[in-house]
Amino acid sequence: MRQVAFLVTPGHQVMVFALISVFEMANKSTEKARYKISFLSEEGGLVTSSVGTQVATVAFCDQAFDTIMITGNPEMRTFSPAVLDFLRQAAGTSRRIAGPCTGAFALAEAGLLDGRRATTHWAYARELQHRFANIRVEDDRIFVKDDAIWTSAGMTAGIDMALAMVEEDVGPEAARAIARKLVMYHRRPGGQSQFSALLDLEPKSDRIQAALEFARRNLASPLTVEELAEVARLSPRQFSRSFRSETRESPAKAVERLRVEAARQMIQDGRLSIDEIAQATGLVDSGRMRRSFLRIFNLPPQAIRRMSRHDTFVS
């Protein structure tokens, strides 16, 4: 039986324990229980969450665990020397160590992310990169597995990471069955975006919102400033000024982001060729599509397709 330990820190968010349901369903979905869950802390006893609930823990020791999950605390992203020493020692004895959400800061502070790829909640990604310059922070990933070290974005992204772990341990069919029991369509691939361009742009007025929605529905069209201004019922000059004021981007750059976001989703679906996707999203051809992807993701479309094939379930 695989021992999965949650290293619980004060002020943790209770959402992290949603991951336990994945391992629980794995136990119920197979002939024998495969996982045993433990709760650890530096001193043992009750550890209080960010909302005041408490979880009973035992003090960590030299026991070896298959998997260790370190809970983070958005209000306190530094960790005690004892916790960091425990993580460093565990790196030599555990098969994998994971930092959901701001738990990535503990792994980084312990030196376990040095020279590695990692992610965290998008709201804290810039801080993670600033504090630990030798980490390659991929702030738009749902989760990242770099050898034995796993990190995930915030909230529900940890569930996707846990499903990927079960898939690795038990197989894709079991992971698919667990996702269904959790009323999930399937786990999201690690390369999927944490947020959409429309949410990130956050237009304030109905007119600019309408123009962006029109653009999203008509990506294969040229989508000139004049066309978008007409949808917004503004002059091209007024539209460009208002658009930049509300979104902090030019219309052309925003449209490019919408095109690239749609193209990446099509790449992850895997049904169309790169050239077909470029035409369907208004990126015209594979060359222009490649340049846009490199500008926005620092990766070419082919690399994202390879990652998607690795991340998604076998059908």
Residues tagged active-site: 101
The position carrying tokens 């949808």 is 231
The CA–CA distances, whole Å, from 229 to 234, 243, 283 equal: 5, 10, 21
Distance, in Å, from the CA atom of 159 to the CA atom of 173, rounded to the nearest integer, reads 17
Give first-to-last CA distance, the chain, whole Å. 28
Residue 29 CB coordination number (10 Å) = 17
Going 131 to 134 to 140 to 145, the CA torsion angle's sign is negative
CA distance 207 to 212: 9
